Chain A
Amino acid sequence: MFAKKLVTSAMLFTTLSLTTLTALAEEVNIYSFRQPFLINPIMEKFTEQTGVKVNILFAKKGLVERIKREASLSPADLVLTSDFSRLMQLTEQNLTQAVDSKVLTTNIPSQYRDPDLHWFALTTRVRNIYSSVERVGPVPNITYQDLASPEFKGKICTRSGKHPYNISLVASVIAHQGLADAKVWLQGLKANLARKPQGNDRAQVKAVKDGLCDYALGNSYYLGKMLADPKQVAWAEAVNINFPNQNSSGAHVNVSGMALTKYAPNKANAIKLMEFLSDDLAQQLYAQVNYEYPVNARVAPSKLVASWGDFKADKLPLAEIAKQHKAAVKLLDEVKFDL
């Protein structure tokens, strides 16, 4: 029992010293749904410029619940998300606060921020349809709706329907066409799948290269990432990138974004960081390193991304799409999309 006491007290001492250490420095704390290696280069620049240390906790599941449970004691100042639905969950559960900053409202166009200023988008990404160079070629007029028609039978690959990117796409179809039509569409899409939904977006492009399918759903920046990877460049070169619904509603666009937490202990630094992330330098890094579309109109996309050409984006406000999030999840269950 003595050993137990010793270990426990040693542990408590360590944690105590850790907590005091983090309380002293000039810093800002981030709970991040995005992988550290994507955002670290940008955070390093911020620390370089301001001297404020950035602490990041990365997880893909459970961060919203953690903030909720920690309540007024939460150390988190800022939440970074890789899609829109998480931003909505945060604001809906009253875990965020408004940021009234001239810099933010100038840098981020109004369609990419909450009217109440609780969340802000940082980058946008398109849900593209990739087509095989060898067997299909470019299909500039393709629509998401086409994917449900019989001539695509056995030709489509996608990741799990339950991934936020796909839920968001389904939610946008519900928002545009209503639940009943969306169900018919989703059933059609399900019937056309070459294989059970699996893997991530990159894996779908690889499947096109392998000849398992001719079309794949995938986010735009993955193509840039794959072209920069020595092993994956061959996969990327096997597909054309197409922007869907160009003659109709426009391509479905999701965002990565940020929100200030309700009880942010380092509020001033957090706002400083938010402004930095919306400003030219960080936005350029997002564009150059991650191949995402910057929301800041002063910053151009990377050369590669620009070479894919201009496109028409869905004009429906993100909040309208987010309202259908739960309906989309239930619809995916109903048509047994992943099974």
Chain B
Amino acid sequence: MKLTYEPVIGLEIHGELLTNSKMFCSCSADYGSAPEPNTNICPTCTGLPGAMPVVNKKATELAALVGLALNCSINKHNTFARKNYYYPDLPKGYQISQYELPIAEKGLLEVNDGSDNQLNVRVRRVHIEEDTAKLAHEKNYALVDFNRAGVPLLEIVSEPDIRTVEAALDYATKVRTILRYLGVNSGDMEKGVLRFEANISVRPVGSDEFRTRTEIKNLNSFRALVRASQYEIERQIKIYEEGGTVVQETLGWDDVRGVTTSQRSKEEAHDYRYFPEPDLPPLQLSDSWIAEIKSRLPELPEAKTSRFISDFGLTLSEARFLTSERTLANYFESVVSKSKSPAKTIHSWIAGEFMRYLNDSGLSIDDVTLAPETLAKLIDMVTDKTIGASAGKTVLTELFKNGGDPAQIVKEKNLLQMTDVNAIQEIVMKILNDNPKEVDDYNAGKETLFQWFMGQVARATKGKADPNVTKELMVKGLEERKK
């Protein structure tokens, strides 16, 4: 009988922390807006002889905030360490990181395994370190830009508790959402502010052994995470099925060819020679300091989702969508509080026309200038049938483009809904009279034509006719012409 295999996955997530200054010096951490290379630099972040690091307080606070959000315990006594290796992007010849005592450890995150089962993934540790410089490889040489050197990084390491690629994706997505909620990382994968590393092994289902794992480095999108993991799982299964053994190694992901490639074998693996950083005394965090950081924790996505379900009667997927971004959730709640319409309706507008407009225009929720009260006003006009749904869409587009007041736009564009039954009746009759062939076809059984008739009314009234009234009259009119 053929064995079935399951993957054992652990994820490392590296995220830059949104601080003004670098981790160990006062240079600006905003390397993205630096006018040119090597402008945000000083003796410390370029590793000049004698320069010393000083811990960025803000980064410590943000790291603790993440630790608390991931249900970790905070180490009141935590230490920095030197991770030694040579590379031109590492000016000191060592990276200052945390090793034995990270700022936070032993956390927990609930994720979905892809089959609607929830599972707990343990977070092994959250630690602070510094980013490297950026290399630009030319033909016979490479250029080094130290603007990024020393930017605060957070590393979040999970235990190997993940058993499906879907769960890995959900874990990564949830961590990204939490980082964005906390305002500690923009989550902008394209800019490289968040990177994943997957540790993967496979074993026969039912076994509890941990087999040799490989480590895939530098996965810089969710898509890469999923594809690389799937590829690597299949590669390892194939090796076992052919009677081979998996070699412990560090792999890269070739996104173009869709394959993992060997970078370093176990024998070639770096010995980082970690030891406590003698230039930095241990960080001593008091209970009151931790309590103060804890008080800054916002409502996190999971809690918000539950609340949206119970307070607003939304489904799980509706609530998940709205809470995927803190700003989106806040926007939704703000509209709800200003509107007389049901929350469900507001969700439909936001998930529908509102998002469609943003996606089509390449905008994000953070770019939206449309005031929640304005959107609330518009939705209420549809709800109380002052205007029709399609007119509402027209007004929304106008609001996005030029701003203004919904009532004013409705007036200017003459979009008030036709609710006069006689007027609508007149139009319905005209359409039925003008299209005898379609009426015959409909009555002969081609029922799909009904929408076509409705469309003709919408066209004739520029979408202003009350759709319920129209529908009623149309059904009646067609019925009358049935012989």
Same complex: no
Residues on B facing A (Cβ under 8 Å): none
Residues on A facing B (Cβ under 8 Å): none
